[in-house]
Structure 1
Amino acid sequence: MRNILLIFRRDYLGYVKAWGFWLSLAAVPLFMIIGAALAGFAAQSSPVRYFAVVEPGSIYADAIEAEFQRREQADAERTSEIAEQLDLPAMTEDEARAAAEGASVASRKFIPVPAPAESIDGLRPYLLGEKTVSGPLGDKPLFAAFVLAEDGSELEYWSDDVNVDQLRYLGQDAMLRLARRDALTEAGLDEDFLQNVDDAAFAVPARRIRTVEEQDAAGNEVTMADRAPMFVAGGLAYFLWLMVFSIIQYLLMGTIEERSNKIFDTLLTSVKLPELLAGKLLAVFAVTSTMMLSWGLFAFAGGTVVATQIPGVGNIIEPFAAALANPAIIVPGLISFILGYIMYGMIFMALGSLCDTIQEAQTLLSPMMILLMLPMFAIFIAFQDPGSPLVDIASWIPFFTPFLLILRMPHDPPLWEVFAQMGLMAAFALLILWLSTKVYRAGAVHGAGIGDMGGMLKRMVGLKGKAA
């Protein structure tokens, strides 16, 4: 045990003392902060643009303005619903109206102005930025213009910028609503007829069937507490995948360096090969755990700040914390996590021991990436439909079992399947451990390379042909 700890300490300190480790450790939260700041800045700094509607009257201009107001009202209603779910203090009617007006002013990025000309030829210099039009924010070029076609069959959208389509899509929705209103009016129906029909439709609330005792205690509504276990299981499965993905560079680069510098010969004079492997695998696990723990603490600190600033957020976090503390999820999850890490870690370490240069290691990266992407596809399918027969079958494939067993736990799979799949993982991990030790010994000690893998595998399974 002492030798394992010595190898662990040597490798772990070697990794964490490197400046690249701390750079990669700080990169993720730093990029998240920068990305969030840039996204917020981009949303706030998006320029306000002028547009005009050219028509004999104001029918289409009024329809477009009504569509703006409808969307702003819908945003205000969604904000009120979120506030109600978070148990925030209810606003008075005047406060709600003022907030909606403030939000509309802040979010309105397209402002109508009087058309400076009545034809597209007259509008051309304004649309090309050669002339400006006056508006609430001063003089600006005309960004776009809606021009009614000569035959009255189309409302043409003209602009020099072909990439910003929000205004055109809003105009399409406005024309659709205007056509519906006119059709209802011609039919002698009120323009709110369709909305009243929609409001009269039956709601379809989600209910969860429970035992009588559970229903008396928790009710039958589907809440976040019902959905949280699946999100937690998905997070654990993805966390395992991310851990496995992160160890590739450490195991490959570290093993190549020690092989090329003949460090293995020195180490094996003091420790046994199994102790060397255990110490290295434990060190890489500790390195990646340090990174994940640091990022987790960053996320926890950020969540705590948000929870203190926004009342009611704690009510959202509570179901996830309860699901994470559920032994039926966390115990199989931890077992799957450890066995899956050992399986993949030993595979990568064994393959790295066969490489002398980074170029040789790069030839192994493609199959390794494919091997890692397959579990990610399985995780995605299982998250969408954990009861899929494909998931049931794939969960018996040892390379997928660590991830899929975690995702199946919130759906209470048969207990015999849980124990059988954990036993399968343990047996396969032992097999991988045995094979990887053989490959590692051949590569690190005897200098075998990638080209010798076929012969090594034949000797391991006793299929070596007779000498000619």
Structure 2
Amino acid sequence: MRNIFLIFRRDYLGYVKAWGFWLSLAAVPLFLMIGASFGYFAAASSPVRYYAVVEPSRVYADAIDAEFQRRSRAAAEEAAALAAQMNIPLAEAEEQLADTAATRRFIEVPAPARTLEELRPYLTGDRTVPGPAGDRGLFAVFILSEDGSQLEYWSNDVNVDTLRRAAEAAMRDMGRREALAAAGLSPDFLRAADETALAVPAFRLQATQAGESGAEVTVADRAPAIVAGALAYFLWLMIFSIIQYLLMGTIEERSNKIFDTLLTSVKLPQLLAGKMLAVFAVTTTMILSWTLFGAIGSVITASQVPGAMEMIRPFIAAATDPGLILPGLISFVLGYILYGTIFMALGSLCDTIQEAQTLLSPIMILLMLPMFAIFVAFQDPGSPIVDITSWIPLFTPFLLILRMPHDPPMWEVIAQMGMMVAVTALVVWGSTKVYRAGAVHGAGIGELGGMLKRAVGLGGKPKEAPAE
């Protein structure tokens, strides 16, 4: 154990002492904060844009304005419902919504001209029109065609289409109202019909006492699946993160003949165990740091936003549920050892960074397959394809974690865990053979096929390393 600890300490300190490690550690929360702030400030700093509608009357202009008002009311209703769920005072929510609604991003102004050619300098910004936000150029104009069949949208910016989509929604609503009026029905007939529709709340059946059939689905019912998905993704992220450490570290030690020195003091299994523990500790340090960052953010959010703790508590309960976390942690550790030993063995066969880069493409493909399986299992954990692929060793660690919140048969859980233990032990045994051939005997990536044949007894004796 002492030798394993010494190898572990040497490699772990070698990784964490590098400034690049702390830079990458700080990059994830920093980029998350920048991304969240960027989205908020991008929406808040979006400029006010003027538009005009050229038509004989104000029928279409009023319809577009009504669509923007409808969207503001819908946002207010959603915010009020969310405020009620989180116990936020309604007056505070309405005040924030009033501030948002007061700064509309698209404002109609009177058309300064009637034809497109006359409006061109206003659209290009050469001339301005007065408005509530000061003198500005026109962002867009709507011009009713001569035959009245189209409301043409003209703008010098083809990327921002929020205004055009709002106009399309307004025209559809206007067309429906006219059709209803022609049929002798009220313009609000469809809305009244929607209000009379039956609600379809979601309930979850519970095998409890007689007379208690179940309860309405809440965040607490969905929390275990979300926590399992996060744990499976963390496993994938950890495996993805160890590639560079295992490949690059092994190549450096092979090229500098460090293996020869290390193997004079420790046995090969001890060397492998120490290196695996070191890389596991490095990636665990990263993930625990990110988790701590998330926990601090959650505490700050809970202290600032009333009712936020009520939304966080179900996830904490799911994360501490032994029925979910114990099988998840076992799958987590076995999956890490399975993939880690494979990458370490492949790295021992490379002499240069160029050789390692040739391995990255198949390794990336190998890692993307579990990600696709995670996506499918998260969307539909009861799918037959998920049941089948959960028996494939490369997918089992991820899919077993995702299936636990849905109460799979206990015999499947035990059988898949036993299979993972057996496959992991077999992979560790084979990887040790490959690692010995690469690190000790100097074998290259081109000899991998021959080594696998010799490992199962189908080949001859290994080729001796050339004399130094």
TM, length-normalised to structure 2: 0.96
> 423, 426, 431: which is aligned to 1:431?
426
What's the secondary structure of 2:420's corresponding residue?
Answer: helix
Corresponding residue for 1:410? 405
Corresponding residue for 1:319? 314
Corresponding residue for 2:99? 102
What's the secondary structure of 2:152's corresponding residue?
Answer: strand
Partner letter of residue 297 of structure 1? L
Q: Distance in 2 between matches of 1:466 and 1:286?
A: 37
Cα deviation, 1:114-144, whole Å, max 9, x if unaligned, reads 0001111221111121111111111100111
Partner letter of residue 9 of structure 2? R
Corresponding residue for 2:118? 122
Corresponding residue for 1:363? 358
Corresponding residue for 2:159? 163
Corresponding residue for 2:57? 57
What's the secondary structure of 1:208's corresponding residue?
Answer: strand
Q: Distance in 2 between matches of 1:291 and 1:97?
A: 41
Corresponding residue for 1:329? 324
Corresponding residue for 1:40? 40
Cα deviation, 1:263-312, whole Å, max 9, x if unaligned, reads 01110111110000000000000000001111111111111111111011
> 131, 134, 139: which is aligned to 2:135?
139
Q: Distance in 2 between matches of 1:113 and 1:96?
A: 30
Q: Distance in 2 between matches of 1:156 and 1:255?
A: 64
Contact 1:51 1:111 in 2 (8 A): yes
TM superposition shift of 1:98:
5.4
Gaps of 5+ in 2: 463-468
Partner letter of residue 113 of structure 1? V
What's the secondary structure of 1:57's corresponding residue?
Answer: coil
Partner letter of residue 401 of structure 2? I
TM superposition shift of 1:74:
0.2
What's the secondary structure of 1:220's corresponding residue?
Answer: strand
Partner letter of residue 373 of structure 2? A
Q: Distance in 2 between matches of 1:336 and 1:234?
A: 13
Cα deviation, 1:83-129, whole Å, max 9, x if unaligned, reads 111122333xxx776554422123x1111000001111221111121
TM, length-normalised to structure 1: 0.96
Instruction: Note closer, same or farther for the CA distance 1:323–1:466 as it changes in structure 2 (3 Å cut).
Output: closer
> 283, 291, 313: which is aligned to 1:288?
283
What's the secondary structure of 1:201's corresponding residue?
Answer: coil
Cα deviation, 1:133-187, whole Å, max 9, x if unaligned, reads 1111111001111111111111111111111111011011111111111222222
- After TM superposition, list the pairs within 5 Å mapping 1:373-384 onto structure 2: 373-384=368-379
Q: Distance in 2 between matches of 1:466 and 1:455?
A: 10
Q: Distance in 2 between matches of 1:377 and 1:289?
A: 24
Partner letter of residue 175 of structure 1? M
Contact 1:73 1:100 in 2 (8 A): no
Corresponding residue for 1:69? 69
TM superposition shift of 1:38:
1.9
Q: Distance in 1 between matches of 2:218 and 2:24?
A: 38
Partner letter of residue 432 of structure 1? V
What's the secondary structure of 1:25's corresponding residue?
Answer: helix
> 247, 252, 267: which is aligned to 1:252?
247
What's the secondary structure of 1:134's corresponding residue?
Answer: coil
Corresponding residue for 1:87? 87
Share of identical aligned residues, percent? 69
Gaps of 5+ in 1: none
Partner letter of residue 35 of structure 1? G
TM superposition shift of 1:399:
0.6
Q: Distance in 2 between matches of 1:465 and 1:430?
A: 25
Note the aligned Cα RMSD (angstroms): 1.5
Corresponding residue for 1:353? 348
Contact 1:236 1:406 in 2 (8 A): yes
> 219, 222, 238: which is aligned to 1:227?
222
Contact 2:373 2:386 in 1 (8 A): yes
What's the secondary structure of 2:107's corresponding residue?
Answer: strand
Q: Distance in 2 between matches of 1:84 and 1:30?
A: 32
- After TM superposition, list the pairs within 5 Å mapping 1:18-37 onto structure 2: 18-37=18-37
Q: Distance in 1 between matches of 2:215 and 2:297?
A: 33
What's the secondary structure of 2:186's corresponding residue?
Answer: coil
